[in-house]
Structure 1
Amino acid sequence: MKQGENTELGADASDPRDSGRRETEMEQADRNYAEVLQELRVAQVGVQILVAFLLSLAFAPRFAELDDFQRGTYVATLLLSVTAMALLTAPAPLHRMLYRRHAKRQIAELSSRMTILGLVLLALALTGSVLLVVDFTLGRAQGAAAAGAALLLFTALWAVLPWYVRSKYGGS
């Protein structure tokens, strides 16, 4: 099917990807892109706050007390969060640069992939932040345990739960 054709999607009830919607390929691409943007609004705020926190942390008086492990965790977490922010904000300039180039489907697909990768990096950055703060305040073992629990929580809610719902209730 060529881009821009007015062929209706979702007409085959045996197709597991059939959402029951009657929309053209372009309407589906528009809807998919709009859904990605809605999802990004939540993630972008969180990652921006995290980056601001991490950037300001280096100027805190007690930053000099960090040991080598904590400094390494800090730098890795900062780089993960900045990369997550780049990925989670990339759909806007991507759309702007490809505006009116008949690339909405590609924009929606790339935006979805960047969002998934950005969320993975955000989960790792948040886990690193938990490790850093708990390690600094309570100790290395407690920091590792708290970071492990945070990573387990993100994995359960952001990966296992969607996989479970998808496998139990179907969907593409």
Structure 2
Amino acid sequence: MVQAAERRTGRNETEDERADRMWVELIQEIRVAQMGVQILFGFLLTVVFTPKYADLGDTEKTIYIVTVVLGATATGALIGPVSLHRLVSGRRIKPRAVQWAARLTFVGLVLLLATTAASLLLILRVATHDPYVPWLVSAVVAWYLVCWFLLPLWIRRRYTTR
């Protein structure tokens, strides 16, 4: 009987305790992503006020507008969990709130990836008009996909006990 207890995995916590723990972990993760998206979005907002903006071609201006919109939506998704928590706090639905906050965070990460890729595309198109720019941006996006999604999913699949 002792051996069975030693082999047991997981935590001995109630649903509410688990939600509390997961909320704290999620907020720590969001802090990292929020910082990145807010800095990137802040820089994007200043571009339109620089003299160089007037010299951009139609394609670059379109990429810029798309990038700003992506940055705004990423910011909204990554700040959304804070508002969600504030509005449902004390309603005894924390496990559901954590699920929705996690979903918003995932959407925010996808939007942050798109914002970063579009920003890189814009910067490299302005810096150089070389035909390798889309390939370079694609390589960076592939790297982000590996780091942010594929590796974590592979680890989850490989090491999760069934």
Give the structure-1-normalised TM-score.
0.86
Q: RMSD value over aligned CA atoms?
A: 1.9
Q: Structure 1 residues 37 and 64 mapped into 2: Cα distance closer, same or farther (>3 Å)?
A: same
- Contact residue 29 and residue 104 of structure 1 kept, 8 A: yes
Alignment correspondent of 2:13: 23
Distance 1:43 1:126 in 2: 12
Q: Which runs of 4+ in 1 moved over 6 A?
A: none
CA contact (8 A) 1:131 1:144 kept: yes
- Give the unaligned 5+ runs of structure 1: 1-12
Q: Higher helix fraction: Structure 1 or Structure 2?
A: 2
Number of the residue aligned with 2:58: 68
Give the structure 2 partner of residue 49 of structure 1: 39
Q: Indicate the residue corresponding to 1:107 in structure 2.
A: 97
Give the paired residue count: 158
Note the C-alpha offset of 1:150: 1.7
Residue aligned with 2:132, SS: helix
Any residues of structure 2 matched to 1:70-149 within 5 Å, and which? 70-139=60-129, 141-149=131-139
For 2:157 and 2:115, locate their aligned partners in 1 and report how far apart those are by CA, in whole Å.
Answer: 28
The answer to which structure, 1 or 2, has the higher relative contact order (CA under 8 A, 6+ apart) is 2
1:75 aligned partner, one-letter code:
I
* SS of residue matched to 2:34: helix
Q: Counterpart amino acid of 1:61?
A: P
From the superposition, tell whether residues 166 and 53 of structure 1 become closer, same or farther in structure 2 (CA, over 3 Å).
same
Distance 1:77 1:33 in 2: 30
* Identical-pair percentage: 36
SS of corresponding position for 1:100: coil
Q: Compute the TM-score of the two structures, normalised by the length of structure 2.
A: 0.91
Deviations 1:106-165 (A, max 9, x none): 110000000000000000100000000001111152331221122111111111101111
- 1:158 is matched with which residue? 148
SS at match of 2:23: helix
